[in-house]
Amino acid sequence: MIDLDRVTRQFEGKRNVTALREVSLTIAKGDLVSIVGPSGSGKSTLLNLMGGLDRPTTGSVAIDGESLANLGDDGLTRVRRDKIGFIFQFFNLLPTLSCLENVGLPLHLRGWARRKVHERAIELLQLVQLGHRVHHLPEELSGGERQRVAIARALSIYPPILLADEPTGNLDTRTGGDILALIDDLHRRLGATVVIVTHDLQVAERCQRTITLRDGGIEQDVRR
Amino acid sequence: MNDAVGSSPVGPACRRVPIALGSSPVGGRTVRRPRLLAGALLGLTLGSPALAAAQDARQIVQEVQKRGDVRSQRYEGLLQVFNARGTVSDKRWMLERLGSYGASRVVLRFTQPAEVRGVALLVVNHPDRASDQWMWTPSIERDRRIALQDRSQRFFGTDFSFEDLEERDVQQFDYVLQGEEAVDGESCWRIQSVPTRTKSSQYTRSIVWVRKSTYTFARIDNYIGDQVVRRLTYGDMADVQGIWTARRLEMTDLRSGSRTRLTLDRLQYNVPMTADDFTLQALRRQ
Amino acid sequence: MNLLRLISWPYVRKHVLRTVLTTAGIVLGVAVFVGMHTANQSVLFAFNSTVDRIAGKTELQVSAGETGFDEAVLETVQGAATVRVAVPVIEAVVDSQREGQGNLLVLGTDMTGDRSLRDYDLEDADEAIIDDPLVFLAQADSIMLTKAFADRNGLSVNSVMTLGTALGPRAFTVRGIMKSKGLASAFGGNLAIMDIYAAQRMFGRGRTFDRIDLATRPGVTIEEAGAELRTLLGPGFQVDVPAGRGQQFQAMTASYGIMVSISSLFALFIGMFIIYNAFAIAVTQRRSEIGILRALGATGSQVRRLFLLESAATGLVGSLGGLALGLLMARGIAASIGTIMQDVYGVAQRADEIATSPALLGLALAVGVGTSVVAALIPAGQAARVDPVQALQKGRYQVLSAGENRARLMAAAALGIVSVLCVAVPTSRPVFYAGYLLAIVVALLLGPILALVLSRAIRPLLKWLRPVEGALAADSLIQAPRRTSASVAALMLSLALVTAFAGMARASYNSILDWVNGTLNPDLFVSPSQDVVTRTLRFPAAMGDELAALPGIERVQRVRNARILFRGTPVMIVATDIASLAETAPREPVEGHPTEMYRLTAAGQGLMISDNLARLAGLHAGDAIEIPAPAGIISLPIAGIIVDYSDQQGSIIMDQAVYQRYWRDDTVNVFRIYLRDDATADAVSRSILSTYAGERQVFVLTNGELRDYILRVTDQWFGLTSIQIAVAVFVAILGIVNTLTVSITDRRRELGVLKAVGGLRGQIRRTIWLEAISIGTLGLVLGFALGALNLYYILQIIERDIAGMRLDYVFPFGTALALVPVILIAAFVAALWPAESAVRGSLVEALEYE
């Protein structure tokens, strides 16, 4: 489902930093994979590359057999829109939009009819047990609730791939556990490929596969 | 002009007058405003026989005037301007003057060059005030009154200023006989004249040389401060009908280096003329 | 200062573009101010210096308005005891008949006396002939040119050049060339001297002079001489120092000056908003930096000083740029003002040099810096009040507090009441203008609140239009009212200006059209110059009978018009055959009896005046007025007041017999010709032209041509203001760009999320565009609202202070409608670049951005 072939990512700046070095990796469809490693080991960079948010300096990334290398900006966006759902550490909900609107966002962007968007968004919010907070603004919600809205948004089109960057990093342990359970549950119910970046080993352990990064390379790749 | 016209030049009084050309001397009259074209153009004459030696400077000047007195006068003038670069331009005119001193009238018609042919000036002198002057311009068929208000201006592009052409009352100047000097080999009195009212003249003072033999002007140097700015010389003396007359007057502007020479041809005195020819209507007729 | 270097400079460097845009606001504001005023000054300066150079040593001038006077007056003046030299003058502006050389100012003087007043400073000194007044006078075709003009046209002494005169094109011989200084540099060197009597003929002046220049006798003061001459000549003459003409010129063009001032003020106001906007944004964005400063021990006033210094520096840089740009603009503007002065006011003018006055430049600098500092006062105050703890937390702080809103509303209400009172209580001019200013301030106070309300109001619409992009665009406006409202306010001000000017232009246009239709109904107009306003050439009265005798002509009306001084203001005298006029073009009076009015005026027992004059001078039908004329004082009652736009300052209409009696002048400026039914304009026009071919310069205008001409001139007058309008709109657009660049920075993360969750580039762009268009829309709505108010004030100003015209209040819906797409498109264009840069940035960074 996700193929990385000798992917290197360098950041240019006053000091060139190589975040990833020659990483090759394949994630199969339906896998629940966690990526762990210390700060600066390249976890987020790897995830961003998988999600088409960023492009490798060298090497190639393919999603569902489609190489991202030749895609333009909008091409990448289409891949994200149609195949990938993102969950961010800081939720990245749009503060001015209600839960419903936030969840409906990707659908509107795909040009869905309003009614259909509405139905799907309600459905998703119910799925994440927020059916009662449909019209609330993000700032009126607790951290866990916000992350659930974010998850609902990520799921809006039931994408085959779900990428989560420290989804629990900003939450207390209990809420984090709930969110993880939710992701786990969704993975199982929807059969999506899920990649979670985390530094929480407990989280990692609940995954079928755990990839450990260190200094931009894969240090360990454990399947359970 | 004042009167001038004909009479003697030099005015008597003064200097300026001298211009010889015509102006007369008449003494006595007080002229307040410039009389335009003064004598110069107009008449010219010079002295008359005279008396014996003069003693006093004022008397000498009065005698010069007196000897130039005539009833009427006619001549053809050639006016030549030589500028500093040596270019020469000529103008010719015919001048007639009627009457004596204060009551004279002068008509001056340009005959050459073609650009100015037909332009005529009429000068009517009054004994008790400034003269009236008109100019007739055939190309626009108009006469205009010439109201000359600044006498230091050049007279139509010549080196004479309007003031140089007018004549003045002897009483307006103080004269001092400074001795005798030869001019061009002739023995002359050297007389200084200073305007009694400053500001009435552009000049601070003038030195006049009068020929002792004929009581005619030989030369006048006009000063501004200590500088001679204009010098007038009287030459080609001839006895015309008993009046000693300079037939060549030359004014040099020492500041610009240009000079103007007036040559009088066919000079006649006391020719019969009628007053009708000296009116504005007559001016237009022509 | 250190703070400035340490804190501000890096910020400036980081936001180069925004800094440039902000500065551009001041640059443009100051540039307009400097450009317009410099141009205006240059024209005035050129006029004055022409007057001055022509005046030479002239100490006093005797004139009778523009009418001229009998040449006999000269002797009276010369006879005055206090006068040393008095020289008659005729001034005429003629077509130089040379491509690109424009007009030539011909000065007719009497060379026999004139040289003591003016130094012709002749070049080329074959003085015996060239500088020979005798030849010059003897030949009517003599002309003296300036070296500059001669060189430009390859002319030298004895060259022949053709000039348009009243007698048709005439060949003139160059008989003198003046060195290009002093007199010869007047009127940009386009100056020629000819003999005054030749000039009388060439310009159809009969035996009149325009003016007498004089110098007083030594020891006599100018006041003494003036007093003597006034006594000698009577009230029909003006005896004034040459500089007095500059004042008349100024009075004549005062209306233009007021317009310039109003729009310069608007431009600066708009610039102020841009600065305010920029600083408000900067303070918001740099909260955490300010918080750190405060945490490190900076006092509030240090922080305030930092921002004020920053704004002063920005203001200084911007003002300097504005000075440079303004001076560049001034040249072009001056040229067009010159054209307007000539076309509208009939005063030929050339402003070849830009008159930079240190005072103006200093003022502009001060105004630029001052505006900048004032604009930054509020933001700086806010910066000073930043709470260090709060500042270091993340969050949005742009929201207007309820308290602030309330304060604004109260202030607006209070000032609004005062402003209404100012208008309601009809009092002095300062009170009225204060009311105007207050009204604008109220609008500015309410602007942000209204902008917020409107943004909320259009959110559903935008959301309906584009569920994501629209909603987000609206939210962006709502969330950052400061960011939004300042550029909305800038736009509002420019649109208010445009709307009001458009309304005024339309109203005047309509009134003028109405007047043109009612009054200018002859079939043909016969004029000695191509444009009807130039009054330097005139026809002899006898031509009227000659024209009347031509086949096909039914009626000829002679019109003599000229400006005179009436109660110290230049107004236009229009003298014509009133009885005939009453038959052909009767006007409904504003005051007075419709037929009696004409009867009395025709009989020389009354006058008619234009309603603008009535209003400006506070006159009513039945009032007796006194008009000083060269031959005495005309004392007649006002028989009627009619609408007449012959002149901005007003007109007095009298029968030609009255005019001839009091001015001893029967020349004609224009013949109005009515044709027989069976005649065609074309045929008659041809026969008129052939009758006078080679003998006189005659232009025949058809009714349509004259109408077009008048309307074109009207357009031109308003046209000038369009420069300022364009700049105002441009500045406002800059404001939008500024706001948007900030907006995309503020929304970077939001836009990143949008992209991450599937927003295509087009969709991202669209949300920026929508934001811009929304700003445009808000600006339009508020601008039209304020414009409606502004129009009211502008019309009042016109009525009270400019032209005395009572114009109908008609909101210029046409222009407003046309402005909608213009502004929306401009806003859209303003959004293009910010949208592109929003699309471009790194997605990863955007998502991490905070």
| pLDDT (tens digit per residue) in C759-812 | 888 888 988 899 899 989 999 999 999 999 989 888 888 777 776 777 788 888
Amino acid identity, residue A200?
D
Q: How many residues does chain B have?
A: 286
- What's the distance, Cα to Cα, between the start and end of chain C in Å? 29
* Residue C221 to residue C574: CA distance in whole angstroms: 37
Domain assignment present for C236: yes
Do both C262 and C212 map to the same domain?
A: no
- Classify residue B183: in a domain, yes or no: no
Tell me: the pLDDT tens digits for B186-237?
889 999 988 877 556 788 888 999 998 888 889 999 998 889 999 999 988 8
Query: Strands C103-109 and C160-165: what pairing?
Result: unpaired
Q: What is the pLDDT of residues A128-168, one digit of tens each?
A: 888 888 889 888 888 888 888 988 888 888 888 999 888 88
- For residue B64, the domain's CATH number is 2.50.20.10
Structure tokens at C344: 């509208």
Banded pLDDT at C532 (limits 50, 70, 90)? low
Q: Which of C696, C722, C745 is the last residue of a domain?
A: C696
Residue B206 within any structural domain of the chain: no
What are B141's two structure tokens? 């068929």
Q: Are strands C60-63 and C211-216 parallel, antiparallel or unpaired?
A: antiparallel
- Output C502 or B14, whichever has higher pLDDT: C502
Q: Residue C391's pLDDT is what?
A: 61
Looking at the structure, do residues C580 and C549 belong to the same domain, yes or no? yes
What is the rounded CA–CA span in Å between residue A76 and residue A70?
9
Q: Which amino acid is at B6?
A: G
Q: Is residue C431 one of the residues assigned to a domain? A: no
Inter-residue contact C388 to C294 (CB < 8 Å): yes
User: Is there a single domain that holds both residue C87 and residue C153?
Assistant: yes
Q: Which residue of B has its CA nearest to C115?
A: B153
Mean pLDDT confidence for C618-637: 89
Chain C positions in Cβ-Cβ contact with residue A93 (cut-off 8 Å):
753
Alpha-carbon gap: B280 to the closest alpha carbon of chain C (Å):
17
**Tokens in use for C176?**
């003198």
Task: For C339-369, write each residue's pLDDT tens digit.
Answer: 766 665 555 566 666 777 788 888 888 888 8
Closest in C86, C129, C197 to B140, CB measured: C197
pLDDT given at position C396: 46
- Whether residue B273 is contained in a domain is answered as yes
pLDDT in tens, A171-194: 788 888 888 888 888 888 888 899
- The more confident residue out of C486 and C394 is C486
Tokens at residue A188, please?
């199982």
A171: exposed, middle or buried (Cβ count in 10 Å: 0-12, 13-18, 19+) = buried
Check whether C482 has a pLDDT greater than 80.
no
Domain that holds residue C230: 57-241
The residue out of C660, C676, C696 marking a domain boundary is C696
Residue C531 lies in a domain: no
State mean pLDDT over B5-30.
Answer: 33
pLDDT of residue B42: 42
Query: Is residue B93 a part of any domain in this protein?
Result: yes
Asked if residue B221 is part of any domain, the answer here is no
Domain count, chain C: 4
In a domain, B143, yes or no: yes
C258 plus C127 within the same structural domain: no
The pLDDT, as a whole number, for residue C253 is 66
Mutate to test the interface with C, among B119, B156, B158, B260 (most CBs of C within 10 A): B156
- Compute the distance between CA of residue C210 and CA of residue B36 in angstroms, rounded to an integer: 26
Say whether residue C309 is in contact with chain A using an 8 A CB cutoff: no
Q: Does the pLDDT of residue C702 top 70, yes or no?
A: yes
Q: Which residue of A has its CA nearest to C766?
A: A109
In a domain, B35, yes or no: no
Which residue range is the domain that position A145 belongs to? 30-44+78-223
User: C429 lies in a domain?
Assistant: no
CB-CB contact of B106 with B122 (8 Å): yes
φ and ψ at residue B252, rounded to 5 degrees = -110, 130
Asked whether residue C449 is domain-assigned, the answer is no
- Among A111-125, A206-220, C500-514, C528-542, the range scoring the smallest mean pLDDT is C528-542
Indicate whether C494 and C507 sit together in one domain.
yes
How high is the pLDDT of residue B41? Answer: 40
Q: Is the ipTM of this complex over 0.95?
A: no
Judged by phi (left if over 0) then psi (alpha if -120 to 50, else beta), residue C355 lies in beta
pLDDT in tens, C159-206: 888 888 888 788 898 888 887 666 777 777 788 888 888 888 888 888
Residue A133 is predicted with a pLDDT of 86
Q: Does B147 touch chain C (CB under 8 A)?
A: yes
pLDDT number for residue B17? 31
pLDDT > 70? residue B168? no
Separation between Cα atoms, residue C257 and residue C37, nearest integer Å: 9
Task: Please tell me the predicted confidence (pLDDT) of residue C2.
Answer: 62
Model confidence pLDDT, tens digit, residues C243-293: 777 766 666 666 667 777 777 777 777 777 777 777 777 777 777 778 777
Given this model, what pLDDT does residue B282 score?
A: 85
What Å distances lie between residue B67 and B10, B28, B170, B241, CA to CA?
Answer: 11, 15, 15, 12
- pLDDT for C505 equals 80
Taking each helix axis from N to C end, the angle separating C469-479 and C761-797, rounded to the nearest 10 degrees, works out to 50
Closest chain C CA to residue A83? C758
Number of H helices, E strands in chain C: 30, 22
Q: Is residue C442 one of the residues assigned to a domain?
A: no
Nearest Cα neighbor of C484 from C837, C740, C783 is C740
Q: Using alpha carbons, select from C829, C833, C826, C793 the residue that is nearest to residue C809.
A: C793
Domain count, chain A: 1
The reply to whether C722 and C774 lie within a common domain is yes
CATH number for the domain that contains residue A180: 3.40.50.300
pLDDT in the model for residue C29: 77
Query: Domain span at residue B239?
Result: 57-172+233-285
Question: Which of C92-101, C123-132, C616-625, C797-806 is modeled with the greatest confidence?
Answer: C616-625
Residue identified by tokens 């004089």 is C214
- pLDDT tens for each residue of C707-749: 888 887 777 767 766 666 677 677 777 778 878 887 887 788 8
Closest residue in C to B121 (Cα) is C134
For chain C positions 106-145, those within 8 Å of chain B (CB to CB) are 110, 112-113, 115-116, 125-129, 131-135, 137-141
Mean pLDDT of chain A: 86
Using the predicted structure, report yes or no on whether residue C73 has a pLDDT greater than 70. yes
Q: How far is B221 from chain C (nearest CA, A)?
A: 23
Percent of chain C's residues with pLDDT above 90: 8
Give residue C653's pLDDT: 93
Task: Give, in order, the Cα–Cα distances in Å from A48 to each of A19, A55, A73, C559.
Answer: 12, 8, 14, 87
Residue C444 is assigned to a structural domain of this protein? no
Question: B119 and C110: CB-CB below 8 Å?
Answer: no
DSSP state of A132: G
Chain B residues whose beta carbon lies within 8 Å of the beta carbon of residue C134 = 91, 110, 116, 119, 156-157
Q: Report the distance separating Cα C95 and Cα C99, nearest Å.
A: 10
> Mean pLDDT, to the nearest integer, of C670-694?
88
B104: in domain: yes
Mean pLDDT of A40-50: 87
Q: What does the alpha-carbon distance between residue C346 and residue C531 come to, in Å, rounded to a whole number?
A: 9
Please say if the pLDDT value at position B54 is more than 50: no
Domain membership of residue C407 (yes or no) is: no
Mutation to test the A interface, candidates C757, C771, C840, most A Cβ within 10 Å: C757
User: Is the model's pLDDT at C12 over the cut of 90?
Assistant: no
The two beta strands, B216-224 and B258-269, are: unpaired
* Banded model confidence at residue B13, pLDDT cuts 50, 70, 90: very low
Q: Structurally, how many domains does chain B consist of?
A: 1
Does C388 lie in the same domain as C271?
Answer: yes
Q: In residues, how long is chain C?
A: 850
Identify the band that residue C654 occupies on the pLDDT scale cut at 50, 70 and 90. Answer: very high
The reply to whether A135 falls in a domain is: yes
Query: C698 phi and psi, to 5 degrees?
Result: -135, 130
User: Residue C128: pLDDT band by 50, 70, 90 thresholds?
Assistant: very low
pLDDT at C581 > cutoff 70: yes
Q: What is the pLDDT of residue B149?
A: 59
Q: Do both C565 and C657 map to the same domain?
A: yes
Q: Cβ contact (<8 Å) for B258 and C127? A: yes
Measured CA angle at C468 (ends C446, A82), to 5 deg: 165
The chain C residue lying nearest A79, using CA atoms, is C758
Spatial contact of A199 and A38, defined as CB atoms under 8 Å apart: yes
Residue in the block written with tokens 């927020």: A130
